[in-house]
Structure 1
Amino acid sequence: MEIFNNHKKLYLVASVLFVVLTLFVAILPALDNQSRIQPLPDAEPLSEAAMRGKKVFIANGCVACHSQQVRNVEMDRKWGSRPSMSADYAGNKRMDLWTNTATLMGTERTGPDLTDIGTRQPSIDWHLVHLFNPRIVVKESVMPAYPFLFQYKHNPSDTDVVVSVPEGFANSAKGQVIATEKALDLVAYLRELKQAKLPEATVAPEFLYPLKDKATTQSTQGESDTGIDGKNLYATNCASCHQMNGEGLAGAFPPLKNSPVVLDDNLQLFVDIIMNGYDARGEYGVMPAVGSNLNWTAKEVTAIVNYERNNWGNQAPLVSVEQVKEIMDYINEMKAKQ
């Protein structure tokens, strides 16, 4: 054939074929997806601060170690309430003319998935301490520290955000640790990473390969009738601040070991703190409403309460699901009247 003897015609045909295939295989399907797939009704766009924080996230290579996708397998259940879907990323647009990294799904998990980190860890104080030095809150962490996102001041102003860094992790001679605008923007981005709820009539896809259910689970040093592993629940949602040994971090997060709040007979206060958070004292960060943010049931709260009241040397009577449910109902009733 003449075409094989004429390099100009050969390259022209190959180029036309490449363009046509690209059009039908990549461009037209992508445009069709963009027209059909819309963000979920409850999905909220990122704030201006969070958009700036997203650029800080990219610039510092965070995307290399953290994914933002909950796969539909059981092991991913702890990262979100449901598997991720196309609608979760439909609202992501090109960040600017030169940057087309709107969707940061990631390819590996050297660090935990961040799809729903804003729900799992809404505390500003925790994020700032973690960015300054991850080893403060997670001793085994391999994440690099980002001290360049902070500065020292001897006399912080009223508008400065002072970070509660425990002794030994900062140079106190230089003054107090202050979060820069970049650090605050990055935290704003992380706190706004939340899985949007599906419409009421929509059924979430099931996680594949479910683990075998346990008839009873060791949630304290004795058997619990909640069927929920209190230790695992604590490790996933509480240990990052209060530590696995329950001793907390001096100057940052209060201890639960020998805590009068944990061991006191006033169970209502304890449950209220778990569900709605607590501003303990000036030297500690404000605890977010972990239970409410995660929609914990009475069984989950009971498992957490019994685990914390009977570990690290703590000894207190076990509480029942019925007791906790009654308290939660009362707390919700009081909140509704406010």
Structure 2
Amino acid sequence: MEFFNQTGKLFKTILGLFLFLTLVVAILPAMKNQQSNKPLPGAPSLTEEEKAGKNIYIANGCVACHSQQVRNIEMDKAFGDRPSIAADYAGNTRTDLWRNTATLMGTERTGPDLTNIGNRQPSTDWHLLHLFQPRIVVDQSIMPAYPWLFEIREKTNKDDVEVKIPELYSQHIKGKVIATREALQLVAYLKSLKQQPLPDGRKAMDFLYPKAIPGSTAIKESPNQNGQQLYAQNCQSCHQANGEGLPGAFPALKGSPIVNGDNLELFVGIIMKGYDARPEYGTMPSIGINNNLTAEEITAIINHERSSWGNQAKPVSAAEVSRVMDMINTNNKK
């Protein structure tokens, strides 16, 4: 018992035990994980702009409400093409010498998961609008606005990125809304969040607890319902559920001459390659290419748009859309 009265020896023993446990419990397993888990082939590293955006994401507390982990349950299927795996995080490194915020998996989903937001929402204009005032693009959003990431000026400079604000929200704004470099860096980071496909066409693990039980007598969705679902996943955030878009930001599809017209090549080309309608509207990203939409999926979206919100254009076939897509792909290779 005399040992416990010798404070010097007692302190050194406790310190040695603490260092030993730290080595065995924390350091060695971490080193083993780094050796065992490698990034997926082709997984890109963050650029300097994206790294800066990650720091802004941390500084503004985004991790408090948004997770970056797709769990292997059916309800998470909306956030990614597959459940997250260790390799998805293996390429992350320390933010700096003092901060080990390599992964931002989060613990709460007050807002949606952002693991695959770069694929789900690739529009820079949408993200900037969402940061400036979330209620513009998501009417019932509880996300706070981040106006300090923007400047209000009377005139724009050559390299300025102006954010198109709908009239309903711009009446009290005296000037033009300009995205700061910090806002653009944050958007660059958000757009970099994409799930990397598994190599060699390897099949990912299944999502557990599916809503529909295989072999059940559940009624299958009609092609029109499928088009409605695809529209909601790929188009609705900008063009809105009612097809009316956001005046001054995103064009309406209701009554659109392109949607109701006969120029299928133009229609499919916009979905596949995007469209720059500035200065009237923001730039539409390449939804079809970015999301690897098939001819059947694009056909379903087109037919949904051509038969909704009062539009009464004739439907198109997957064969027609496929021929246009082949033409677009051929022209891109030239």
TM-score, normalised with respect to structure 1: 0.90
In the aligned structure 2, how far is the partner of 1:170 from the partner of 1:122?
A: 24
Which deviations, in whole Å up to 9, do the C-alpha atoms of 1:162-184 show, x marking residues without a partner?
11111132356621111111111
1:208 has 2:208 as partner: yes
Indicate the SS of the match to 1:178. strand
How many residues are paired up? Answer: 329
Deviates more, 1:58-67 or 1:326-335: 326-335
- The residue aligned with 2:113 is 113
Aligned AA (2:313): A
1:166 has 2:166 as partner: yes
1:101 has 2:101 as partner: yes
Aligned AA (1:35): Q
Q: Pick closer, same or farther for the CA change 1:215–1:305 going to 2, 3 Å.
A: farther
CA contact (8 A) 1:120 1:290 kept: no
Q: 1:37-116 counterparts in 2 under 5 A?
A: 37-116=37-116
Indicate the SS of the match to 1:151. strand
Cα displacement (A) at 1:105: 0.6
Uncovered stretches (5+) of structure 1, i.e. residues with no partner: none
Indicate the SS of the match to 1:245. coil
In the aligned structure 1, how far is the partner of 2:249 from the partner of 2:48?
A: 28
1:198 has 2:195 as partner: no
Deviates more, 1:145-154 or 1:36-45: 36-45
Q: 1:216-235 counterparts in 2 under 5 A?
A: 216-220=220-224, 229-235=226-232
State, as a whole percentage, how many aligned pairs show the same letter. 59
Uncovered stretches (5+) of structure 2, i.e. residues with no partner: none
In the aligned structure 2, how far is the partner of 1:5 from the partner of 1:184?
A: 60
Aligned AA (1:289): S
Deviates more, 1:2-11 or 1:183-192: 2-11
In the aligned structure 2, how far is the partner of 1:103 from the partner of 1:267?
A: 44
Cα displacement (A) at 1:7: 7.6
Q: Pick closer, same or farther for the CA change 1:281–1:157 going to 2, 3 Å.
A: closer
Cα displacement (A) at 1:12: 5.8
In the aligned structure 2, how far is the partner of 1:127 from the partner of 1:175?
A: 20
1:35 has 2:7 as partner: no
In the aligned structure 1, how far is the partner of 2:223 from the partner of 2:178?
A: 39
1:311 has 2:314 as partner: no
Which deviations, in whole Å up to 9, do the C-alpha atoms of 1:186-225 show, x marking residues without a partner?
11111111122222253322222233276631453xxx7x
Cα displacement (A) at 1:4: 8.8
Calculate the aligned-residue CA RMSD, in Å.
Answer: 2.2
Q: 1:117-266 counterparts in 2 under 5 A?
A: 117-170=117-170, 174-200=174-200, 202-212=202-212, 216-220=220-224, 229-266=226-263
